[in-house]
Amino acid sequence: MIDWLTLSISTMHMSEKDRNTLSSRCGRLTKTSSDGELEWQSLSLKDIRSDSDQLFVKYGTDFLIAGSPASLSNDCNLFGSNDIEYCAYELISQACLDYGIDLPMDLRLWKCTRIDFTYNYYLGSESDADNFLYHMKHSDISRLQVKPYRTGCSFGSRKSKKFLKCYNKGKHLEHLSKKGKIDIHPDIIRHSKSIIRLEAQFNKRYLDDFGQSWYTLSKEQLNNAHIACFSPLIGKVEVTDMKDLKESLKEVCPTPSIARIAYQHFCTIKADGFINWRDSLARSTYQRYKKYLYAAGLSPSDLQSSNILPFRQKMILLPVPVESYEELYKLVNHK
């Protein structure tokens, strides 16, 4: 779903009445002469306070609005829409309502500098969600810096083309509820503690790479971009126990004896660490057995984690996201 949009429009496309309305809510920067006469005055380019806590606005040469479309139409942003035009209209309409102005609805006049696209994955229990997060927090993924925090972790920098987050959505909702920022039923929080959210923040340079107008992006395009961002981090994430790994290796290796050797290599990685294992082998041997382990379902983070957790109590199928309350309750009731 689309969890965040940042849009802006030149004030040249706004009426004089609307510009005056916004100017009246801005602060002023002034300069006076030594004898107390006003020399000049300009608008302060600080945020304008919105009548709704879900909307963030700046007014200057451009009028900028940012927020979560899902939070505007629901009690919280647990579930929302994948339709980018609908989400944009939600944001623009809320700004019109908050400030009593009439903004252009022609999306061709608006620029988009950020889209957050997310998926929720129900893992069956809070403990499974915690285990998955522990695994992600202790990953050692090349070229991406892992920054753990209380309810999850992030990958990369907010200033880069993309910024990735993985966190427990229920604990995040609980935090917002305790701070009085949302009013949500305790059962939703409880069920959501079994949900892991994978969030991809696409900034302007990333959006430019699509080579098309932002408002024409489809769910499929955003979904494919989301998969491309997270697949190197989590792989299939569907390993259950030692027997399953051994059987998977038998399926992908040329012979049973090579499968046994591949499994012994995995045990070496678990005991000595990925780096020590890699450095102890000839490059061709390293590449060959790494390929077998990946083909069996392990991901780079599985092999490079400081505390490898490939044998989980239940299979985790991240390619099946939960996209509505109905789907969530169905999964909860069929545990």
pLDDT at 70 over 90: no
Residue 253 contacts residue 265 (beta carbons within 8 Å): no
Signed CA dihedral, 225, 229, 234, 235: sign only: positive
Render pLDDT for 122-176 as a digit per residue (tens, 0 to 9): 888 888 888 788 777 776 554 667 888 888 999 888 889 999 999 999 998 898 8
- Whole-number percent of the chain with pLDDT over 70: 81
The pLDDT confidence band at residue 267, using thresholds 50, 70 and 90, is: confident
Q: What is the 3-state secondary structure (H, E, C) of 61-89?
A: CEEEEEECHHHHHCCCCCCCCCCHHHHHH
Above 60 in pLDDT, residue 48?
no
d(CA 335, CA 201): 32
Looking at residue 122, its pLDDT comes to 87
| pTM for this predicted structure | 0.70
Q: What are the residue boundaries of the structural domains of the chain, listed by start?
A: 1-32+39-105, 118-235+320-335, 242-296
